[in-house]
């Protein structure tokens, strides 16, 4: 028996649809999913028959509910920094893609899922979408660029609040604060994303490429991102992380020392 592919790829009207396909785990990101996303972005940028990509999640419940928490428990405690760097690299690749990439957020976009949406060129959402950075509940911090991109997009104060409280925000609030550009019904989301992408891919290719490069001009892979990976690594090695992750997997509330 062959296992389901973790990513579904289809091309229609010069648009590549990248659908993360682990609905039973709310499309959580493991190493294989990250690798396949990276391959899909390479395909987008090397295939002349494709002009842009739309990333979404399979099923009705989630875009991506975060990095795979199960894998966190198995990973050696000193591997946190490397883990963050791996995710950061894939997300840089999306952000710096020569061709446009839109996130069509169709449910939970939590932790690494919110960070995946953040590194796309912009975000559209269905009314049932929910955004959050709940890592603190697991005794860790965002490590795939969220500590950098979320403040850039919605301001430091709101970003701090989301990351410190771990409270989710709904699609309407995400729209209000500029985290997403438009919200529509669940049924209309993919068509809205397609129509937007069709407008974009009529534009001249080289100018689009230069536009993305120009808007991303101030992004440096060093400083903030290196610091984030270091801080993620520190939190990943902590007892708080062991308790937070174990509690999630045991479906109970974590007990952290005061």
Active site residues: 115, 135
Total number of residues that touch ligand COA (CB under 6 A)? 16
Q: CB of 28: closest distance to ligand COA in angstroms? A: 3
Residue 157: alpha-carbon gap to chain centroid: 21
Q: CB of 110: closest distance to ligand COA in angstroms? A: 4
Per-residue burial over 111-147, b if 16 or more Cβ lie within 10 Å, else e, is bbbbbbbbbbbebbbbebbbbbbbbbbbbbbbbbbbb
**For ligand COA, which residue of 108, 225, 232, 236 counts as binding (CB under 6 A)?**
108
Q: Return the range that interacts with ligand COA (CB under 6 A); candidates 38-46, 77-85, 133-141, 192-200.
A: 133-141
CA angle 189, 162, 88 (to 5 degrees): 75
Q: Using CB atoms within 10 Å of the CB of residue 180, give its burial: 0 to 12 exposed, 13 to 18 middle, 19+ buried.
A: buried
Q: Return the range that interacts with ligand COA (CB under 6 A); candidates 95-103, 107-115, 150-158, 196-204.
A: 107-115
Q: CB of 202: closest distance to ligand COA in angstroms? A: 37
**For ligand COA, which residue of 8, 9, 11, 25 counts as binding (CB under 6 A)?**
25
- H/E stretch holding 198 reads helix 189-201
What residue ranges bind ligand COA (CB under 6 A)? 25-26, 28, 65-70, 108, 110-112, 134-135, 138
């Amino acid at each position: 028996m062959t296992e389901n592919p973790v990513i579904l790829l289809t091309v229609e009207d010069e648009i590549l649809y990248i659908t993360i396909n682990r609905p039973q785990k709310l499309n959580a990101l493991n190493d294989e999913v990250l690798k396949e996303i990276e391959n899909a972005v390479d395909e987008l940028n090397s295939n002349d028959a494709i002009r842009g990509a739309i990333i979404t999640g399979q099923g009705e419940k989630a875009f991506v509910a975060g990095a795979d928490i199960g894998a966190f428990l198995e990973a050696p405690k000193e591997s946190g920094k490397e883990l963050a760097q791996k995710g950061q690299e894939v997300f840089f690749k999306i952000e710096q893609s020569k061709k446009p990439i839109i996130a069509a957020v169709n449910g939970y976009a939590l932790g690494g899922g919110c960070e995946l949406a953040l590194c796309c060129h912009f975000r559209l959402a269905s009314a049932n979408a929910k955004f959050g950075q709940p890592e603190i509940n697991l005794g860790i911090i965002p490590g795939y660029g969220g500590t950098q991109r979320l403040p850039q997009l919605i301001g430091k104060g709101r970003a701090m609040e989301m990351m410190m409280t771990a409270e989710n925000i709904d699609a309407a609030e995400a729209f209000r604060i500029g985290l997403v550009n438009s919200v529509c019904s669940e049924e209309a989301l993919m068509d809205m994303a397609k129509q937007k992408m069709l407008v974009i891919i009529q534009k001249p290719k080289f100018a689009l490429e230069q536009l993305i490069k120009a808007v991303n001009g101030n992004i440096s892979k060093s400083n903030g991102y290196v610091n984030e990976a270091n801080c993620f690594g520190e939190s990943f090695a902590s007892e708080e992380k062991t308790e937070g992750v174990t509690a999630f997997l045991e479906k109970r509330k974590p007990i952290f020392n005061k």
